[in-house]
Chains A and B, each alone.
Chain A
């Protein structure tokens, strides 16, 4: 058992070495398990999950609520500590990683939330610039122009100086997309980005997200319930009770 475990570790190191040399997967997960709670309340939410996301790939993750999708997303997003298994994001091992490593890694991961989570006290433009402010070595003006470009790309050039509460739900989500992409991420994580939107807007938002991300050569992992948007995916992953189901093409 011990030897086997060591061997698999060794194998993994060789693999990841290869990856870093040639073609790194954006996300690479090997037998990832996760628990919530302590003592007798401890409950396993992820069972031996293994998957990969390649650069530029758009992957949709679906499944009933409470099946562990969001947990997986927060683990990939370097927002939680990995308990067991291997999780490589952009070539960084997240099991046993330092807080600092995770913080730096998060700069390269764009996140779009169910509730858009814009900063209420900032205008659309300033919200997007909070994303581009993370880029090092650019002047204030460059970062602001960058933010404006992204707002133009999501079709909000007329709404730049509006505060979030003056924007519609769809517009807010567009600002959130612009903010996530303005930090030039290599991976974009989206948690039910369409759940608060009507079907037409939702569809629009997702197509926009896909188009912009693919142009940036940015991988996308999107968690969704929405059956109407499944066709934007390059690949569909289904999850049930913390286990990945066989892939449906």
Chain B
């Protein structure tokens, strides 16, 4: 069958039409590539920003999360009574809990002395907090009062803390007007809401932020026995707890935050619109190229009709030109996309990755763009009148 197909092939007219006009082909590829890059960047930024909003969320060592129903997002967390978390311990599948305080505090850059809001997490240093196995040891340093762990991935505006610390200097600065000392470095990563992070003990946290009621926390981490079914536990916890707390699975907790940025801000709209612009620009370029290609070769198409070729065959030629253009434009767009993502990652620390889903999405958008333009350009083919060429 395959052999048969190969034997039945004809002159690759679509390919030759494109490649024998290298300049026009180059313009077309550049145009499609540009549109592809635009789509890659816009969609990449969009997904990257949503992913970036949950960099810290992903790191917690937890199965279920307790939050106040008034908490809307990581930048506007409300407190709830800590006893709710203690109450969950009554459930047979719960093996451990960690109360966590979560708030933004002003960090003074030890070099320039300017201040900037940093996300501060407070917890009991003996409790597990992060999935990272090395963290437990570092957390021991927080047992002394006034010590913090600084996130090395925080933006540079917070000062050269990691560098100074690595050099063995004692790094001391002010947080919320109180003196603290950096007792170690952790690697969390900036998120969309927070440019930098620090982790401290609950005791220090309450000192830095004395207005926090002592019995109040922002999130409660709940670890379950490995064989427990999280959905069932949530059901029974929701039934037994009063409605001043909400129970989330780990995934729901992450999606809740992403969803805030998706629905309550214009980020999603703006970047999707940007990708849409790329799509339209691409359509116009491919249409222009294919239309002028068909117009220029109209007499030749008419000759083929006069020779006995079917109009359908000629439509096929234009369609194949569209497919070739899509493939030839996509490859450089994909490679440039990879390179630009790497650039974005290194300069903004946003987690922008080329995932296969987006790679396919952009490929199909480009293919659709080329086929739509080709089908509009085909209408010009109907003007090819073989009776006119004599």
Contacts and interface: CB of A to CB of B under 8 A. Distances in A.
Contacts of A131: 307
Interface string A54-82: 00000000000000001001100101100
Given A106-B308, A140-B7, A119 B387 contact: no
Contacts of B299: 117
A80 B387 contact: yes
B389 A113 contact: yes
Contact of B304 (A70, A130, A143): A130
Interface in B4-36: 6-11, 13, 16-17, 20-21
Nearest to B10: A133
Interface in A84-127: 103-109, 111, 113-115, 117, 119-122, 126
Contacts of B307: 106-107, 111, 130-131, 134, 179, 183
A121 B16 CA distance: 6
A129 interface: yes
A111 B390 CA distance: 10
A121 B6 CA distance: 22
Nearest to B302: A117
A121 B306 contact: no
A139 interface: yes
Nearest to A128: B11
A114 B17 contact: no
A140 B9 contact: yes
B7 A139 contact: yes
A113 B307 CA distance: 11
Given A103-B310, A106-B306, A74 B21 contact: no
Given A122-B16, A139-B7, A140-B9, A134 B309 contact: yes
Contacts of B20: 120-121, 163
Interface string A203-239: 0000000000000000000000000000000000000
A75 to B, nearest CB: 9
Contact of B11 (A77, A104, A107, A126): A126
Nearest to A79: B387
A70 B390 contact: yes
Given A114-B390, A122-B11, A140-B8, 11 more contacts: A105-B308, A115-B389, A117-B299, A119-B303, A120-B297, A120-B300, A121-B17, A130-B307, A140-B6, A163-B20, A179-B307
22 contacts: A79-B306, A79-B387, A80-B387, A106-B305, A106-B306, A109-B308, A111-B307, A113-B390, A117-B299, A119-B13, A119-B297, A119-B303, A119-B304, A121-B16, A122-B13, A126-B11, A129-B11, A130-B13, A130-B307, A179-B307, A183-B307, A191-B390
